[in-house]
Amino acid sequence: MSTARARVGRPRSEAARAAILHAVDDLLVEQGYAAMTLKGIAERAGVSRQTIYRWWSTKAEILFEASWTDAEEELNIETSATPLAEITAYLEALIRFLAHSPAGAAYRALVGEAQQDAEIAKLLASRDVLGESAQRVIKRALGDEISITLEEASAILVGPIFFPVLVGRELTGLDEARWAKRFLTQMQRDQPPAG
Amino acid sequence: MSTARARVGRPRSEAARAAILHAVDDLLVEQGYAAMTLKGIAERAGVSRQTIYRWWSTKAEILFEASWTDAEEELNIETSATPLAEITAYLEALIRFLAHSPAGAAYRALVGEAQQDAEIAKLLASRDVLGESAQRVIKRALGDEISITLEEASAILVGPIFFPVLVGRELTGLDEARWAKRFLTQMQRDQPPAG
Amino acid sequence: MSTARARVGRPRSEAARAAILHAVDDLLVEQGYAAMTLKGIAERAGVSRQTIYRWWSTKAEILFEASWTDAEEELNIETSATPLAEITAYLEALIRFLAHSPAGAAYRALVGEAQQDAEIAKLLASRDVLGESAQRVIKRALGDEISITLEEASAILVGPIFFPVLVGRELTGLDEARWAKRFLTQMQRDQPPAG
Amino acid sequence: MSTARARVGRPRSEAARAAILHAVDDLLVEQGYAAMTLKGIAERAGVSRQTIYRWWSTKAEILFEASWTDAEEELNIETSATPLAEITAYLEALIRFLAHSPAGAAYRALVGEAQQDAEIAKLLASRDVLGESAQRVIKRALGDEISITLEEASAILVGPIFFPVLVGRELTGLDEARWAKRFLTQMQRDQPPAG
DNA sequence: GGCTAATCGAGACGGTACGTCACGTCTTACT
DNA sequence: AGTAAGACGTGACGTACCGTCTCGATTAGCC
């Protein structure tokens, strides 16, 4: 039925959609999230403001759609031979993403907004690229040799990077391999509460 | 001359300053950071908007000043008998602060704003309540028995809590004592790169 | 050739046309002219906006077509035995139309728009229901016993009603028979400029 | 108390007020009422849109304030020696105002809007320049020698001019002196219903 | 019975004005 | 000089219609 409905009337302009998302991408890099305005996006995309409102209800929503794919890609690392190599590669990707990539800036901006806007918080929680990618990697690297939940494990892996970046601390001179080794050691020795 | 000049005219009203900070505190609890407006603060404080602008340049700055003391207090735990008790108490305080306290909400909002505003980022980095309190506790609990920098250690302690909270994940059923034990074990076994 | 061309293709839907005019009639009564919107008409009539634009170029044009017949009818009184009865009946009809009937509201709205829109002014002047009906009645009641133009006479008959209604004055307690008598007296005594 | 209140804070900018009213005057002549937009007025006056909204709630309200004084002036004729001269002069002024003056165009536009907007209707009825000026003149010219209400008399005087103008009829070749004489004759002969 | 062509519904599109909101600055009188 | 009050210019917000534009689906006359 929804497919039938979708065929009625003038179809949505794919060109407009793409132009908007590209404009958001560009403006994010050029001006940052805060300075980004719906009017600005519309003008940059050569699109009417109304068209944007028709499909998204928030600046954050557009940003999410515009940056999600990039984020997903940047955090999706290739399979490595050893768990150590795998985790190390992920940590490198994570730092590159969070601290240096435009998609990461978008992600941080969204996390920022989420602190004040429940709607955005929900959006972010529903498809948390960061947490999910970490869990994926951990599962791939360690399989069943893990005695805590994936959620906990991902927090332990991601948190120590996430926190200093968000708080504005410099991460220079960080040795990803050492962090990866520490993470693995901890995962193997960790025992469930009953142990 | 400038000192002489500074003493001329009506002195700054300390009452106004206090009223403003209290108003911010109250409004933060009642409406949250996003809904807080300078006009609202002024009206609540019974103060003119101009007076606010004279002493602070940003909403974030006022918020920082208004919530810093509370934050400091909430994160400053009493001395305990054992390192385990100490770290456990700190983790409890940390979660209470970050996830449930108004001052924590203010802190999260500031972290959020900092992602988009360099000025706020600088402000936040200059007196990072969270990181500093963690370092203080770690130093007190472990003294010299630590082979990594305090910065790293604090990231490892705080990050795994900070990340899920900021991302909107639920923290229900978290066992602080277990986390504290894991942290201590890790700190004691951790070896410097050369090890 | 153009006639041949015009006969090809799907013919105009008479049902749509009627639905539109009825929708305008209804909406005029329910919401008034100002609140009437092309989108609203289309939805009420179960017709696409484009279909309306295909056949009318202005909201006023539709309104004119939709209300003209009603107006004509309401202002077309039956023949009476005496001129006094005739004029009295007309005045009654005129007041009923202008001040109380939906068609009259439409007419007033059109007069209003005409003050600002030359196109509507032309439309209104081309088939002025009010003036024409008045002239018809005067001619029927007085025939040749009139020394001024019908236009002047109709202005004298209609104007003193038209003015207060348009200006929003109440007309309560108006004695139509007296006004009719006065009009007739005046018409009979009135002398051409040379008199 | 209200006087005391008015002295607090920055006083209303008389320059802005005048600029707005002048802009409305100008735009009315240049573009007409319909094409006049609040945005346009603001830009023309070199004033912010907000400032307009602060003091007026409707385009019509501004227009009313902007044109009322002019209208009052144009319809306020000097005293003449005879009633005939007086009425004749008034009719001349009335035609000049309604059919040719910018203030008259404003008045007609307001009458037009009033047909669709109760708020404007109220505004117009509350200070009806046209009706009041007519009543003033009639009273001055005839004093007590009048057997009907001033309202009725003014409708009889004004209506026959008002109607054709509003309906878009040409008034060329109208002999004001003849109309004035007719009006006076009628006023003197008119008898109350009981007579 | 297929072809051509105009109409119809639905609904997306670029525009543009609307009225509101908060901002940061200014101009008063008062203290 | 500092303060409360409050008006000012600025500029984004989200909404509402406007008139135009695609779509697929009808519905007629014509070959």
Q: pLDDT tens for residues D143-163?
A: 888 889 999 999 999 999 999
Kindly tell me if the per-residue pLDDT of A109 is higher than 80.
yes
* pLDDT for position A4: 53
Do B22 and B64 lie in one domain? The reply is no
Q: What is the pLDDT of residue D190?
A: 60
**Chain D environment of C182 (Cβ under 8 Å):** 186, 190
Q: What is the C-alpha separation between A28 and A7, in angstroms, rounded?
A: 34
Distances (CA, A) of D50 to B37, C106, D22, D57, D107: 19, 34, 17, 11, 26
CATH number at residue A99: 1.10.357.10
* CA–CA distance, C61 with B117 (Å, rounded to integer): 56
Nearest-by-CA chain A residue for B127: A167
pLDDT tens sequence across B171-182:
988 999 999 999
Write out which nucleotides of chain E lie closer than 7 A to a protein Cβ. 4-31
A125 & A169 share domain: yes
Q: Which amino acid is at C177?
A: A
B35: how many CB neighbours lie within 10 A of its CB? 11
- Nearest-CA distance from D49 to chain C in Å? 24
Judgement on whether residues A19 and A109 belong to the same structural domain of the protein: no
D69 and D149, same domain (yes or no) = yes
Residues 6+ apart with CB under 8 A from D23: D41, D44, D45, D47
Nucleotide F20, nearest residue via CA and C1': C50
Do D and C share at least 3 CB pairs under 8 Å? yes
C16 CA to E1 C1', in Å?
29
Quick check: B188 CB within 7 A of strand E? no
Q: Is C60 helix (H, G, I), strand (E, B) or coil?
A: helix
In a domain? residue A22: yes
Nucleotide with minimal C1' distance from the CA of A13 is E12
Res. B132: pLDDT tops 80: yes
B74 and B150 in a single domain? The answer is yes
In the prediction, which pLDDT does B6 show?
47
Query: What is the percent of chain C with per-residue pLDDT over 70, rounded to a whole number?
Result: 93
Q: Give the bases of strand F that a protein CB approaches within 7 Å.
A: 1-30
Counted residue by residue, chain A has a size of: 195
pLDDT value at A17 more than 70 = yes
Q: Which domain holds residue D77?
A: 59-195
Please report the pLDDT score of residue D172 as a whole number: 87
Please state, in angstroms and as integers, the Cα–Cα distance from residue B51 to each residue in A168, B58, C25, following that order: 31, 13, 59
Output the pLDDT for position C190.
Answer: 60
- Band (pLDDT 50/70/90 cuts) for residue A5 is low
CB atoms within 10 A of CB B39: 10
Using alpha carbons, select from D187, D194, D70 the residue that is nearest to residue C160: D187
Does residue A33 fall inside a structural domain?
yes
Cα nearest neighbour of B185 on chain A:
A186
- What amino acid is encoded at D107 in this protein? Y
Distance C12 CA to F30 C1' (A): 19
Q: How far apart are CA A176 and CA D21, in angstroms?
A: 70
User: What residues of chain B lie within 8 A of the CB of A175, using their CB?
Assistant: 193
List the single best residue of A97, A115, A149 to mutate versus B (max B Cβ within 10 A). Answer: A115
Nearest alpha-carbon partner for D25 in D102, D100, D111, D120: D102
Question: Distance (Å) from the C-alpha of residue C124 to the closest C-alpha of chain D?
Answer: 7
Integer Cα distance of A161 and B162 in angstroms: 10
| Contact check, Cβ <8 Å, B156/A160 | yes
**Which member of A116, A131, A185 has the closest CB to residue B34?**
A116
What is the pLDDT at residue B147? 86
Q: Are residues A91 and A175 in the same domain?
A: yes
Comparing CA positions, the residue from B182, B176, B164 lying closest to residue A185 is: B182
Same domain, C93 and C177: yes
Q: Would you tell me the crossing angle of helices B129-142 and B59-75 to the nearest 10 degrees?
A: 20
At residue B177, the pLDDT reads 96
Per-residue pLDDT tens over the stretch C111-142: 998 988 888 888 898 889 999 999 999 999 99
Please tell me the distance from the alpha carbon of residue D139 to that of residue D150, in angstroms, as a whole number.
8
Contact assignment for A109 to B130 by CB distance below 8 Å = no
Across the interface, whether the CB atoms of B131 and A169 are under 8 A apart is answered: yes
Considering the entire predicted model, what is its pTM?
Answer: 0.86
Structure tokens that stand for D49 in this block: 């849109």
The number of angstroms, rounded, from the C-alpha of C65 to the middle of its chain's C-alpha atoms is 11
Q: Does the residue A147 lie in any domain? A: yes
Q: Report the gap between the CA of A2 and the closest CA in chain B (Å).
A: 32
The single residue listed with the structure tokens 């940390």 is B94
Å between A7 CA and nearest CA of chain B: 38
On whether both D23 and D104 belong to a single domain, the answer is no
* Continuous H helices in B36-175: 38-45, 49-55, 59-75, 83-95, 102-114, 118-126, 129-142, 150-167
- The residue length of chain C stands at 195
Q: What is the pLDDT of residues D168-194, one digit of tens each?
A: 998 988 999 999 999 999 998 764 444
Res. A190: pLDDT tops 50:
yes
Give the residue numbers in D contacting C (CB under 8 Å), as ranges: 32-34, 105, 108-109, 111-117, 121-122, 124-125, 128, 130-131, 151-152, 155-156, 158-164, 166-169, 175, 178, 182, 185-186, 189-190, 193
Question: In angstroms, how far is the first alpha carbon of chain D from the final one?
Answer: 56
The pLDDT assigned to A74 comes to 97
Same domain, A72 and A132: yes
Question: Distance in angstroms, CA of C47 to C1' of E10?
Answer: 10
pLDDT tier at B4 (50, 70, 90 boundaries)?
very low
Nearest to D176 by CA among D104, D98, D70: D98
Residue C4 pLDDT grade (very low, low, confident, very high; cuts 50, 70, 90) = very low
- Position B190 scores a pLDDT of 59
DSSP string, D98-150: III-HHHHHHHHHHHHHTT-HHHHHHHHHT-HHHHHHHHHHHHHHTT---S-H
Residue C195 lies in a domain: no
Judge whether residue A2 contacts strand E, using its CB and a 7 Å cut-off.
no
Rounded average pLDDT over B14-30: 91
Query: Among all strands, which nt has the closest C1' to A53 (CA)?
Result: F14
Chain B residues 43 to 102 whose Cβ lies within 7 Å of strand E are 49-50, 53, 58-59
Say if residue C139 is in the same domain as residue C46.
no
Question: Can you tell me which residue has the tokens 């918020």?
Answer: B63
Calculate mean pLDDT across residues C40-67: 93
CA B156 to each of CA B91, B153, B179: distance values in angstroms, whole numbers, following the listed order:
12, 5, 11
pLDDT tier at C1 (50, 70, 90 boundaries)? very low
Between chain A and chain B, the number of residue pairs with CB atoms below 8 A apart is 124
Which of C32, C55, C78 finishes a domain?
C55
Query: For chain A, what is the domain count?
Result: 2
Residue C1 lies in a domain: no
For C99 and E5, how far is CA from C1' in angstroms?
A: 48
| CA of D15: nucleotide with nearest C1' | F8
Place of tokens 């109250």: B26
Kindly give, in sequence order, each residue whose CB lies less than 8 Å from that of residue D161, ignoring residues fewer than 6 positions away.
C155, C159, D91, D94, D95, D98, D171
Q: Are C148 and D145 in contact (CB under 8 A)?
A: no
Please give the average per-residue pLDDT across A23-28, as a whole number. 95
- Cα separation, D61 vs B147, whole angstroms: 77
B175 CB neighbours in chain A (<8 A) are 193
Calpha distance A124→A119 (Å, rounded): 9
Identify which has the larger pLDDT, B142 or B6: B142
How many other CB atoms are found less than 10 A from the CB of residue B147? 15
Dihedral pair phi/psi, residue A126, rounded to 5°: -70, -30
Q: Distance of CA A168 to CAs A92, A116, A164, B132, B158, Å?
A: 18, 19, 6, 14, 15
Instruction: Note whether C71 and C117 are same-domain residues.
Output: yes
Q: Mark whether D41 and D91 lie in a shared domain.
A: no
A interface toward B at CB cutoff 8 Å? 32-34, 105, 108-109, 111-117, 121-122, 124-125, 128, 130-131, 151-152, 155-156, 158-164, 166-169, 175, 178, 182, 185-186, 189-190, 193
Average pLDDT estimate for C137-156? 93
d(CA D156, CA C160): 5
Q: Note the pLDDT of residue D26.
A: 94
pLDDT at A145: 83
Of A residues 40-59, those with CB within 7 angstroms of nucleic strand E are 46-51, 54-55
Region C172-190: mean pLDDT is 91
Q: What is the CATH number of the domain that holds B41?
A: 1.10.10.60
A2 inside domain: no
Domain end marker among B55, B72, B87? B55
The pLDDT value given to residue A147: 86
Task: State whether the beta carbon of C12 lies below 7 angstroms from any atom of strand E.
Answer: yes
